[in-house]
Amino acid sequence: MKIPQATTKRLSLYYRFLQHFANAGKERVSSKELSEAMKIDSATIRRDFSYFGALGRKGYGYDVPYLLRFFRETLDQDVETNVALVGAGNLGSAFLKYNFHKNHNTKIVVAFDNHAPIDGEIISGIPVFHPDRMEELLPNYDVEIAILTVPSRSAQEMADRLAELGIKGIMNFTPVRISVRDDVRVHTIDLSVELQTLIYFIKNDGKIEE
Amino acid sequence: MKIPQATTKRLSLYYRFLQHFANAGKERVSSKELSEAMKIDSATIRRDFSYFGALGRKGYGYDVPYLLRFFRETLDQDVETNVALVGAGNLGSAFLKYNFHKNHNTKIVVAFDNHAPIDGEIISGIPVFHPDRMEELLPNYDVEIAILTVPSRSAQEMADRLAELGIKGIMNFTPVRISVRDDVRVHTIDLSVELQTLIYFIKNDGKIEE
């Protein structure tokens, strides 16, 4: 079954909120309750859930343990995903410290940075090596995903090297639109663009279609 | 004229790329060239530009200086926007150091953090105060936008206080779905969700509609 991309983007959000409901001891939840908690309209939630084969019952709602099990399997929450961080400057070292510790299933296991000594060093518990050793060392860490937080001028070169090393997904925080082979998925979050867009929205309220 | 939201989100990206072309001395650019540089298909670019009243001429392309002037006015690139940062932990202090210095028109001018002394301190050139003084001091800084990088448990309270102080836009980096009055725009970037989504995509390639 094909799932629309917009639905896919809400999967891990649904999972998180269902966990909240489960932790609060709730066994069932209505699309209205989810809608209020998540700020997503309830028609969207019902449509999304129908793709997952989860049909809520009128006056009963959705079964929380069933849904949690479904999302856990779908999102492979039980499988830990190893992540590499490339570029440990301001933003990169914030990620090293944070290390997505609220997600038990994703973990930065290795980092590369130009300022690291050739023998490596430990920052926030993570080994950080010089990028000259990436081809030699990255294969030891069973990594499929890389977070790219290098300066713009190195972004494309690093992306090429990561693709060559078999990385399947790159979370790109540089402003560069990087080009890679079709089998590597790049997801770009450009924080300046996000900020600019928010500014444009508040200055042009009413001129934008929702 | 109403501009679709998806188009709006590309505005500052277009502006950035047109600047690159202008800096490279180009006076005109085709939708194909923009398409290749930006990784956006050229039909989308032509449709977006038609909303701006910019009609490319066949065999000529778009006039770069005209477009740059148009985008600069539209995005208010000449007006500096003051930004407040609330929460100077790992991610927040990375933003303080970075301070969007590639955008000459947006600037973090003040920050608030629980660990700041009551008289304030200077971090990366920016005054950082204790949040107890937010109501007293924020009005001095002519700020319309706030970046929220506090722990989850404080997110809603801080958002309420920012709304009360007249903030018009909140860039929310916490995983909390905050509720504010309708006249405050919240843009949430949940980095864990982004990472989870990328992982889901690479593990389910082919099962997702593009």
**Alpha carbon of B139: minimum distance to chain A alpha carbons (Å):** 18
Contact A185 B205 (CB under 8 A): yes
Task: Give counts: helices (H), strands (E), chain B.
Answer: 8, 11
What distance in Å separates the CA atoms of residue A18 and residue A62, rounded to the nearest whole number?
Answer: 10
Residues of chain B with Cβ-Cβ distance to A100 below 8 Å are 191-192, 195
pLDDT (tens, 9 = 90+) of chain B, 210 residues, equals 567 777 877 887 888 888 878 877 888 888 888 888 888 888 888 888 888 776 667 677 888 888 888 887 777 666 788 999 999 998 999 899 887 765 667 889 999 999 999 899 999 899 999 999 999 999 999 999 999 999 999 999 999 999 999 999 999 999 888 889 888 999 888 888 888 888 877 877 655 554
Predicted pLDDT at B210: 43
Predicted pLDDT at A76: 67
Predicted pLDDT at B101: 63
Predicted pLDDT at A112: 98
Class of domain A5-73 as given by CATH: mainly alpha
Chain-centroid distance, C-alpha B199 = 24
Contact A103 B207 (CB under 8 A): no
B59 belongs to an annotated ligand binding site: no
**The CATH number, out of the four listed (3.20.20.140, 3.30.70.20, 3.40.50.720, 3.30.230.10), of the domain defined by the range A81-193:** 3.40.50.720
pTM of the entire predicted model? 0.76
Selection from A46, A37, A49, A47 nearest residue A11 by Cα: A49
Predicted pLDDT at A104: 63
Selection from B204, B200, B209 nearest residue A2 by Cα: B209
> Which residue in chain B has the smallest CA separation from A20?
B176
Residues of chain A with Cβ-Cβ distance to B100 below 8 Å are 191-192, 195
Sequence ranges of the domains in chain A: 5-73, 81-193
Question: Which tokens belong to A193?
Answer: 């663009």
What distance in Å separates the CA atoms of residue B107 and residue A196, rounded to the nearest whole number?
Answer: 11
B166 in A contact zone (CB under 8 Å): no
**Alpha carbon of A181: minimum distance to chain B alpha carbons (Å):** 13
Residues of chain A with Cβ-Cβ distance to B8 below 8 Å are 197, 200-201, 204, 208
Question: Which tokens belong to B166?
Answer: 């007249």
Interface of A with B in 39-58 (CB under 8 A): 39
Output the 3-class SS for B145-204.
EEEECCCHHHHHHHHHHHHHCCCCEEEECCCCCCCCCCCCEEEECCHHHHHHHHHHHHHC
Q: How far apart are the first and last CA of chain B?
A: 29
pLDDT (tens, 9 = 90+) of chain A, 210 residues, equals 567 777 877 887 888 888 878 877 888 888 888 888 888 888 888 888 887 776 667 677 888 888 888 887 777 666 788 999 999 998 999 899 887 765 667 889 999 999 999 899 999 899 999 999 999 999 999 999 999 999 999 999 999 999 999 999 999 999 888 889 888 999 888 888 888 888 877 877 655 554
Residues of chain B with Cβ-Cβ distance to A142 below 8 Å are none
